[in-house]
A and B are shown apart, each in its own frame.
Chain A
């Protein structure tokens, strides 16, 4: 069974509304990540976390908040959703951040902001 699960699978949100994307992992990994993918772009890192109750900014954090209430759970929060945040969002986990580290991904959440 999937070790990284995301919810919801897809969501339609209105501009200016609040959106929360959830991620749960059973890998017992310390590191968790949120990426987004847009047409014409590779996956880009939004936020990551290496321990519960702590989050770090990735490469494109503007407009997003993250929350890591436990080792297993990592949420991505869009306080005021905008059209430009329409994308597919992937959560991932890893043991550490070694240079050859393997990431384990969820199946993605397709977010459409109207």
Chain B
């Protein structure tokens, strides 16, 4: 079945520094899956941060970027300069036609940005 592997545990980074959260995937679909990053801020529900449905394309939102790399089966999330407000849990996910378009999530990566 489909699976998503992302940076485990907590990542601590100082404000204004760069951040990268690794995400790799495995999908059973004959075609290519669609890839997502969701974010959960403290006390809130998950919300979509960005998505990319075409291999080779890049998605961006709120200063974050992720590129759909089908050769490496990766979808790493990056930000050049983080702010304290970026402290949250980040989830990589994929949807796959062969799985009825259901979302498969990674375990989530907690990001703590220190002032």
Contact = CB atoms under 8 A, between A and B. Distances in A.
A99 B46 CA distance: 18
Contacts, number: 61
Contact of A90 (B46, B102, B106): B46
17 contacts: A2-B45, A4-B45, A35-B105, A41-B107, A42-B4, A42-B107, A43-B91, A43-B103, A44-B105, A58-B102, A90-B46, A100-B34, A101-B95, A103-B38, A105-B46, A107-B43, A108-B45
A27 interface: no
Interface of B: 4, 34, 38, 40, 43-48, 51, 53, 91, 93, 95-97, 100-108
Contact of A40 (B47, B102, B107): B107
B107 A99 contact: no
Interface of A: 2, 4, 35, 37, 40-45, 58-59, 90, 92, 97-108
Contact of B45 (A98, A101, A106): A106
Main SS class of interface, A? loop
Given A42-B106, A99-B53, A105-B46, 17 more contacts: A35-B105, A40-B107, A42-B91, A42-B104, A42-B108, A43-B103, A45-B103, A92-B45, A98-B101, A99-B97, A99-B101, A101-B101, A103-B48, A103-B103, A104-B47, A107-B43, A107-B44
